[in-house]
Amino acid sequence: MLEVISNARAWIAEGKRTVMDSALLRNLVEANMNEGAWDGKHLTDDELLSDTFVNIVQFLEYTTAVFHETLRLFPSVPRLGKNVRQDTTLTARRFKIDSDKKVTDVEKFDVDIKRGSIVVIDVMALHNNRA
39-74 pLDDT tens trace: 666 888 888 888 887 777 777 788 889 988 999 889
**Better-scored residue on pLDDT, 89 or 29:** 89
Question: Structurally, how many domains does the chain consist of?
Answer: 2
Contact 33, 9 (CB under 8 A): yes
* Domain shared by 85 and 116, yes or no: yes
Classify residue 16: in a domain, yes or no: yes
* Domain shared by 103 and 54, yes or no: no
Handedness of CA 40, 41, 43, 45 (dihedral sign): positive
Q: pTM higher than 0.75, yes or no?
A: no
* Domain shared by 85 and 118, yes or no: yes
Closest CA to 79 of 119, 117, 123, 129: 123
Classify residue 68: in a domain, yes or no: no
* Domain shared by 41 and 12, yes or no: yes
Structural domain boundaries enclosing 102: 79-128
* pLDDT above 90 coverage of the chain, percent: 28
* Domain shared by 8 and 52, yes or no: yes
Cα separation, 54 vs 33, in Å, equals 19
